[in-house]
Amino acid sequence: MTIEQITFEPTLAGWQRSARHALQLGLSPDEIVWHAAGSAQPDLGLFQEHAADTTPASQAPHFKVPRSFLILAQNVACHSSEIRWALLYRVLWRLTHGEPKLLEVAMDQDVHLLREMDSAIRRDVHKMHAFVRFREVRTEDGIYSVAWFEPEHHIIELSASFFVDRFASMRWSILTPDRCAHWDTRELRFTEGVPRTAAPTDDAVEKLWLAYYSHIFNPARLKLQKMQADMPKRYWPNLPETAALPSLIQKAPKRVEHMLATSERRKVQETDFSTPPVPPSADLRQLQAAAKTCQACPLWKNASCTVFGEGPAHARIVLIGEQPGDQEDRAGKPFVGPAGQLLNRALAQAGVDRAALYVTNAVKHFKWVPRGKRRMHDTPNAKEILVCRPWLEAELRAIQPDLTVCLGGTAAHSLFGSPVRVLQERGRLQPSPCGGQALVTVHPSSLLRLPDKAAQEKGYQQFVDDLRLLANRQ
| pLDDT value, residue 340 | 96
- Which residues, listed in sequence order, are joined to residue 142 by a DSSP beta bridge? 139
The rounded percent of the chain whose pLDDT value lies above 70 is 89
Average pLDDT value for residue range 122-142: 88
In this prediction, residue 51 carries a pLDDT of 47
CATH numbers and ranges of domains, the chain: 4-126 (no CATH), 132-198 (no CATH), 211-233+240-269 (no CATH), 284-473 (3.40.470.10)
pLDDT of residue 215: 74
pLDDT band at 196 (very low <50, low <70, confident <90, very high): confident
Which is more confident, 263 or 24?
A: 24
Q: Which amino acid is at 32?
A: I
pLDDT at 47 over 50: no
Read off the amino acid at residue 347.
L
Separation in Å, CA 23 to CA 47, 53, 93, 118: 18, 11, 7, 23
Instruction: Name which of 78-92, 207-221, 300-314 the model is least confident about.
Output: 207-221
Dist CA 438 CA 430 (whole Å): 5
248 band by pLDDT with thresholds 50, 70 and 90: confident
CA dihedral 447, 448, 450, 451 (to 10 degrees): 160
User: Considering only 135-139, 179-183, 207-211, 365-369, which range has the smallest mean pLDDT?
Assistant: 207-211
pLDDT surpasses 80 at 409: yes
Under the banding of pLDDT at 50, 70 and 90, the label for residue 387 is very high
Please state, in angstroms and rounded to a whole number, the distance separating the CA atoms of residues 329 and 466.
27
pLDDT exceeds cutoff 80 at 214: no
pLDDT tier at 57, thresholds 50, 70, 90: very low
Mean pLDDT within 397-404: 95
- Residue 49 is predicted with a pLDDT of 46
Give pLDDT, residue 44.
34
256 close to 220: Cβ distance less than 8 angstroms: yes
Which candidate, 231, 229, 248, places its Cα nearest to that of 239? Answer: 231
Sorted by sequence, the CB contacts under 8 Å of residue 217 that are 6+ apart come out as 244, 248
